[in-house]
Amino acid sequence: MCGIIGYIGDREACSILVSGLSHLEYRGYDSSGVALMEKDNVNIYKAEGKLINLVEILKTKQDVISKAHIGIGHIRWATHGLPTTINAHPHTCNCKNLTLVHNGIIENYQELKEELTKEGCIFKSQTDTEVAAHLIAHEYGKTNDLLLAMQSAVKKIKGAFAFCAIHKKEPDKIVVAKRNAPLIIGVGEGENFVASDIPAIIEYTKKAIYLCDYQVGVVKKDSIKIYDDKNQLIENKIEYLPFEAIAISKMGYKHFMLKEIHEQSDVVRNVLSSKLTDIEHEIKFDEFKLTSNKIKNITRVQIVACGTSLHAGLVGKYIIEKFARIPTDVEPSSEYIYRDTIADENTLVIGISQSGETADTITAIKQAKNRNSHIVIITNRTDSTMARLADSLLPVNAGIEVSVAATKSYMAQLISLYLLAIYLKEQKGLKENEKEIQNLKHELITLPNKIEMLLEKTDEIQRIAKKYSSYKDFIFIARGINYPSALEGALKLKEISYINATGYGAGELKHGPIAMLDSNMPVLAILNSGIVYDKVLSNCEEAKARQAKLIGVSDYIAQKDINLFDDLILIPAVSDILSPALNIVVLQLLAYYISEYLGKDVDQPRNLAKSVTVE
Ligand code: M6R
């Protein structure tokens, strides 16, 4: 992960770097740092923890930093070495002429370190980045040219990187390189920028060059030159950035997460717009590039994703198999890439990712692309690496999601998958389930109103959150299409409250997890009216018999069953098939209020980052 930023021009570099880093903090917040070049001198400032700590340090150095018009900066999500100041970027070499920031993981850093140690390099940190700094400086010693040094160094590096380097002897440039980590060069007038992501520079420019893997760029104040791996100068491809400089604000909510939960009704409306207008017409999916004949030839679907996106994929399996009748496998991308997967030109491979930058999913997609499968990408970021790999790009348009815990992007992914499943069925000309499809279309159209109804009654969820906030463990159970809801509810709770929460298929409880049940282990059961209601109810009885506290989440509980539950959260009436889209709102709110009640850092939970660009 990590975020990098660079500036070269006439303005005060430091404030641009810090502003950029503030927009990259979603990529990590273990430490931050900047290196500011003034003439042939480089000053480095670093701080452990969040960016605010660096800002405090910089406030005391105003007279020095205001003179620098070139600089690089970094926000860290620790991979190698503790999140300390010494491990914070930027890193330098022995003579401190070269300064480097890095996003990624250098896999052969130990071997390189051993070789460089023999050459006299002295390492101060535990990071792989410091090894790269010494390596580039070592190569510089052979040529006295930063571009050549970078080109030669990256050939020796295995792994993923986006590098941004400055050198005291070449104070008119920033040199950048990338492989399997994002990097853009913002194009300005008499000034240029480097960043891991658009929000860091959008305030200053709307034009950028997306650096490709194996390219190295030399960024000066009034020129940008990019070279391929054979040192050939290539033509700059300038693109317009798909963002407005928006003030990302909490709009009066205490946390971004709460705001984003409340945005979900509009997110659903956005995803549906122009695709599903009324229940009589077929779904329109102009972004889907396979003809109906080719769709009829699809023999299997493979969904690859991580974390919350993986849970959306699990719901996707259920509905694609049910409606489109295509066998569907869902796998964490990080596992998919270590199997000799069976995929061919008749396999539809769907990558789901909020950020579009998750390294494991990118690798999985590339693997499937090599097998000639049709690649569908469902993402919130049309400018991402994954979007660029797509044969069919399905943007979810959920708007920027700031909170590290995914909420509205999950909702957008779910709705996209419902539409896709119906679309595949309709394109195949399948006539089964017609009535159910009409009903589902109607329910999708009315879903935003139901989400709003649910969000009007958060008091009860707050009360229950407070009541259960002191428990150290939680179990979430459900069956069928809500099994992924149990997984996602547990993930939400553990990532923002640090309470140990696990989701199980309710039927699995008796095969082991039931051993953990007693009065200290609350069980949250999702049991909508539908085919699995009675079965989940029996599993609830089994839990209750072990003195577990029971929380029910449902659109309907029979009068005779109400007393079984210690607490009940009722959602608006919904079919079993669409219920994950309502149940999840309850689970998001429950996690949010527990975390908030415990005083945790809701939007930036410890050890996590919004975009996971390392494998
Ligand atoms: O950007 P992606 O959707 O590919 O990210 C995948 C996971 O890293 C992400 O969903 C993560 O699990 C979130 N913290 C969930 O809230």
Model confidence over 459-496: pLDDT tens digits? 999 999 999 999 999 999 999 999 999 999 999 999 99
**Assigned domain for 553 exists:** yes
Same-domain check for residues 420 and 556: no
Three-class secondary structure of residue 54 per DSSP? helix
User: Which residues pair with residue 30 across a beta bridge?
Assistant: none
Residue at which a domain ends, from 447, 480, 510 = 447
Token digits for 120?
């006299």
Distance CA 606, CA 560 (A): 43
**Assigned domain for 175 exists:** yes
Span 437-457, pLDDT tens digits: 999 999 999 999 999 999 998
Cβ neighbours of residue 5 closer than 8 Å, sequence gap 6 or more: 16, 17, 20, 21, 24, 72, 73, 74, 164, 193, 194, 195, 196, 200, 201
Residue at which a domain ends, from 397, 413, 447 = 447
Ligand 1: does its nearest atom lie under 6 Å from the Cβ of 613?
no
Query: Within 10 Å of residue 96's Cβ, how many Cβ atoms?
Result: 12
Atom of ligand 1 lying closest to residue 404 CA: 14
Atom of ligand 1 lying closest to residue 611 CA: 1
CA-based max dimension of the chain: 82
Residues of the chain predicted below pLDDT 50: none
Same-domain check for residues 312 and 415: yes
Nearest CA to ligand 1 atom 16: 405
**Assigned domain for 608 exists:** no
Please give the angle made by the CA atoms of 313, 318 and 319, to the nearest 5 degrees. Answer: 95
Q: What is the DSSP string of 272-318?
A: HTTT---TTSPPP-TT--S-HHHHHT--EEEEEE-HHHHHHHHHHHH
Nearest CA to ligand 1 atom 11: 307
**Assigned domain for 603 exists:** no
Distance CA 458, CA 160 (A): 44
What's the pLDDT score for residue 419? 97
What is the domain-level CATH number for residue 474?
Answer: 3.40.50.10490
Please give the angle made by the CA atoms of 403, 407 and 412, to the nearest 5 degrees. Answer: 125
Same-domain check for residues 218 and 305: no
Ligand 1: does its nearest atom lie under 6 Å from the Cβ of 358?
yes
Same-domain check for residues 286 and 221: no
Same-domain check for residues 430 and 471: no
What's the pLDDT score for residue 244? 64
Ligand 1: does its nearest atom lie under 6 Å from the Cβ of 334?
no
Distance CA 602, CA 595 (A): 6
**Assigned domain for 336 exists:** yes
Same-domain check for residues 428 and 464: no
Sheet holding 300-305, edge to edge: 328-332, 300-305, 347-353, 374-379, 392-395
Atom of ligand 1 lying closest to residue 407 CA: 16
Distance CA 165, CA 575 (A): 56
**Assigned domain for 68 exists:** yes
**Assigned domain for 70 exists:** yes
Range of the structural domain that residue 161 is part of: 3-252
Are 73 and 33 within 8 A, CB to CB?
A: yes
Q: How far is CA 610 from CA 10, 142, 161, 354, 614, in A?
A: 32, 40, 18, 9, 12
Token digits for 61?
């150095």
Same-domain check for residues 415 and 478: no
Same-domain check for residues 318 and 175: no
Q: Find the 239 Cα to ligand 1 centroid distance in Å.
A: 27
Query: Within 10 Å of residue 480's Cβ, how many Cβ atoms?
Result: 23
105 closest CA partner among 587, 451, 613: 613
What's the pLDDT score for residue 242? 76
Residue at which a domain ends, from 223, 252, 281 = 252
Ligand 1: does its nearest atom lie under 6 Å from the Cβ of 355?
yes
Distance CA 178, CA 193 (A): 15
What is the domain-level CATH number for residue 151?
Answer: 3.60.20.10
Same-domain check for residues 355 and 468: no
Torsion (CA) 174, 177, 181, 185 in degrees, nearest 10: 50
Same-domain check for residues 216 and 284: no
Span 325-341, pLDDT tens digits: 999 999 999 999 988 88
Distance CA 109, CA 86 (A): 18
Residues in the chain: 615
Looking at the 3D structure of the chain, how many domains does it have?
A: 3
**Assigned domain for 147 exists:** yes
Same-domain check for residues 266 and 374: yes
Are 125 and 87 within 8 A, CB to CB?
A: yes
Same-domain check for residues 420 and 487: no
